[in-house]
Amino acid sequence: MKFLSTKATCNSHGQDSSYFLGWQEYEKNPYDEVRNPTGIIQMGLAENQLSFDILESWMKDNPDAAGFKRDGESIFRELALFQDYHGLPEFKNALVDFMSEIRGNKVSFDANKLVLTAGATSANETLMFCLANPGEAFLLPTPYYPGFDRDLKWRTGVEIVPIQCSSSNGFEITQSALEEAYQQAHELNLKVKGVLVTNPSNPLGTTLTREELDLLISFVDDKEIHLISDEIYSGTVFDSPGFVSVLEALKDRNLEDSDVWSRVHIVYSLSKDLGLPGFRIGAIYSNDDVVVATATKMSSFGLVSSQTQYLLSAMLSDKEFAINYIAENKKRLQNRHDMLVSGLRNAGISCLNSNAGLFCWVDLRHLLNSNTFEAEMDLWKKILFQVKLNISPGSSCHCTEPGWFRVCFANMSEETLLLSLQRIKAFVASIAPVQSTRSNTHLRPMGHSRRMSLSKWVFRLSSHDYEPER
């Protein structure tokens, strides 16, 4: 170890978060309908697998694109050779048009202000490198995506200061929460360089209100800092209220010629809306020419392959396909969302009202044996090892209230989701036979016999060695 760098030997990657540890346990014992029907079902992965048939149908009908041909002639050699890191112009044009379509064409995007990256992970980290120095801070509203602790901090040295949001108002961002986070950063001797939000929210599955957007814009304008709007779930909004991009909010306030215009940046990806995380398509959109130029240079460390760009430029340029896909995908997401919410309700479990995303923010506070994060972890271990469901504890998302969990619904078949609901319903019935008569906002201690039967699981939280013991 002494011959390695401090980066290689430090424990700041965030891999020991329960968010990642649950994935590791799933990989040891993955559910399979035939080969392993008692395995762990993955409900901690925000993947959209509901509309693959639409994509596959398009590729079948467009063999030239999938076969790297143009007008029937192979362009394999052209795509195989070195490509400029600015990206293929036809793909960037198709991507910005798709982004506008998702937003109801209320805003338009300039392809010259778009930087391609290898996924949104790379886009967010690149923006950190462009906007902040090591030891400076970004404010993030809680709860937030657990991967941000890795994506924003690990290699950049940038710090995260939480904006504490509460279930009392549906976890909406408030002026007082923003000011308190800003003050906390200064008390920690951290210079605040900006605010980063996800809209729609991961893990809440909600869109920012117009009031929240206006509040954020005014706040960063007043503090003379940046605002990053991670909008990778913008095409998953399946119910009202609709999605409002930060760019739309800026234009509605006629701020195109203001200083704040160049300090607002958007992150996008095709990982969620098209369900293509393996294609590694991310993007930064900025009105700051220096940010665009610097991010473009940095993108050479994580380029998108020319083959991928060629295929998707053909797909997204098909306007009829794009419009139909967006509409149909939203219908499927809403149906699957409603199935999860209804099934959980039948088990006596409620969720935060949501209108977007690939997951629900689920309230299991009534199943805790105490109002503590230790109790939350204990409940999570039982659900992971006994119920065989991998869900994400709210503490991994830096939620300030124990008992909330993120549960994903779009990365599995309908049959697997129904099985998951059967498992959780049986679990709730076994530990809380009268919980349906209790309010979800009150904690009910578990009976002693139940507690003894379920507390046999011992969990060693380590990034390299952890397993359940009987």
pLDDT score of 1: 72
pLDDT score of 281: 94
pLDDT score of 66: 86
- pTM for the model stands at 0.89
**pLDDT digit string (tens) for 292-322?**
999 999 998 888 899 999 999 999 999 999 9
Please, are residues 407 and 340 in contact by the beta-carbon 8 Å criterion? yes
Calculate the alpha carbon distances from 294 to 59, 114, 240, 403 in Å: 35, 12, 38, 42
What band does 446 get if pLDDT is binned at 50, 70 and 90?
very low
**148 vs 289: CA distance, rounded Å:** 25
What letter represents residue 269's amino acid?
S
The H-or-E segment that residue 333 falls in is helix 319-346
289-293, 345-349, 450-454: which has the minimum mean pLDDT? 450-454
3-state DSSP call for residue 176? helix
Q: Which residues are catalytic?
A: 145, 230, 232, 272
Specify whether domain 6-46+328-469 bears CATH 3.90.1150.10.
yes
Burial (CB count <10 Å: 0-12, 13-18, 19+), residue 218: middle
- Token pair recorded at residue 365: 């506070």
pLDDT score of 433: 52
457 vs 142, more confident: 142
If we measure between CA atoms, which residue out of 221, 215, 228, 222 comes closest to residue 175? 215
**pLDDT digit string (tens) for 202-225?**
999 999 999 999 999 999 999 999
**144 vs 396: CA distance, rounded Å:** 9
Give backbone dihedrals phi and psi of 446, rounded to 5 degrees, phi first.
-75, 150
**31 vs 422: CA distance, rounded Å:** 15
**pLDDT digit string (tens) for 230-270?**
999 999 999 999 999 999 999 999 999 999 999 999 999 99
Q: How would DSSP label each residue in 396-451?
A: GGT-SSTTEEEEE-SSS-HHHHHHHHHHHHHHHHHH-TTGGGS-TTS--PPPHHHH
Task: Looking at 193-272, list the stretches that DSSP marks H as alpha helix, in order from N- to C-terminal side.
Answer: 210-223, 246-252
Cis peptide bond N-terminal to 143, omega within 30: yes
What letter represents residue 22's amino acid?
G
If we measure between CA atoms, which residue out of 282, 403, 425, 281 comes closest to residue 352? 403
Provide the 8-state DSSP code for 40: B
Per-position b or e across 79-109, b if 16+ CB within 10 A of its CB: beeebebebbebbbbbbbbbbbbbbeeebeb
Average pLDDT, the chain: 89
Q: Tell me what percent of the residues of the chain surpass a pLDDT of 90.
A: 78
139 vs 443, more confident: 139
> Domain limits of the chain?
6-46+328-469, 62-317
Residue 125: pLDDT above 70? Answer: yes
**pLDDT digit string (tens) for 84-115?**
778 899 999 999 999 999 999 999 999 999 99
Equal fold, 6-46+328-469 vs 62-317 = no
**54 vs 438: CA distance, rounded Å:** 44
Residue 438: pLDDT above 50? Answer: no
Stretch 426-450: mean pLDDT: 52
Stretch 167-178: mean pLDDT: 97
Indicate the class that CATH gives domain 62-317: alpha beta
3-state DSSP call for residue 464? coil
68-72, 147-151, 173-177, 198-202: which has the minimum mean pLDDT? 68-72
**pLDDT digit string (tens) for 386-432?**
999 999 999 999 999 999 999 999 999 999 999 999 999 999 999 86
pLDDT score of 17: 73
What band does 465 get if pLDDT is binned at 50, 70 and 90?
very low
pLDDT score of 339: 98
Per-position b or e across 170-192, b if 16+ CB within 10 A of its CB: ebbbbeebbebbbebbeeeebeb
Residue 464: pLDDT above 80? Answer: no
Please, are residues 332 and 357 in contact by the beta-carbon 8 Å criterion? no
pLDDT score of 432: 61
What band does 12 get if pLDDT is binned at 50, 70 and 90?
confident
